[in-house]
Amino acid sequence: MVEPLPQHSHEEYQFGLSFNCQGEYHYRGVYHSIPVGSLSVIHSGEVHLPSDRTCLTSPAHFQMMHIRPMWLQTIAAEMAEKPAHPPFFPTTFLTDATLNHLFLGLQAAMEQKPSQLQQDVAVWEFLTYLVKHHAAESPAVRPLKSVHAAVRLARDYLQAHYADNISLESLAAIVGLSRFHFCRVFRQEVGISPSVYQTQLRIAQAKKLLMQGFSIAMVAEMTGFYDQSHLGWHFKRQVGVTPGQYVSKTAIIS
pLDDT of residue 9 exceeding 50: yes
55-81 pLDDT, tens digit each: 555 666 789 899 999 999 999 999 999
Share of the chain residues as helix, strand and coil, in percent rounded to the nearest 5: 50, 15, 35
pLDDT of residue 1 exceeding 50: no
pLDDT of residue 3 exceeding 90: no
138-164 pLDDT, tens digit each: 888 888 777 899 999 999 999 999 999
* Cα distance between residue 104 and residue 108, in whole Å: 6
Residue 47 — very low, low, confident or very high, per pLDDT cuts 50/70/90? confident
Q: 194-211 and 168-175 are packed helices; what angle lies between their axes, rounded to 10 degrees?
A: 100
Contact 204, 129 (CB under 8 A): no
pLDDT of residue 10 exceeding 70: yes
Residue ranges, comma separated, of all CATH 1.10.10.60 domains in the chain are: 197-253
pTM: 0.88
- The class that CATH gives domain 148-191 is mainly alpha
CATH number for region 197-253: 1.10.10.60
**Helix H or strand E encompassing 207:** helix 194-211
pLDDT of residue 220 exceeding 90: yes
**Helix H or strand E encompassing 67:** strand 62-67
CB count within 10 Å of CB 85 equals 11
86-132 pLDDT, tens digit each: 999 999 999 999 999 999 999 988 887 789 999 999 999 999 999 99
Task: Tell me what the mean pLDDT of segment 187-216 comes to.
Answer: 96
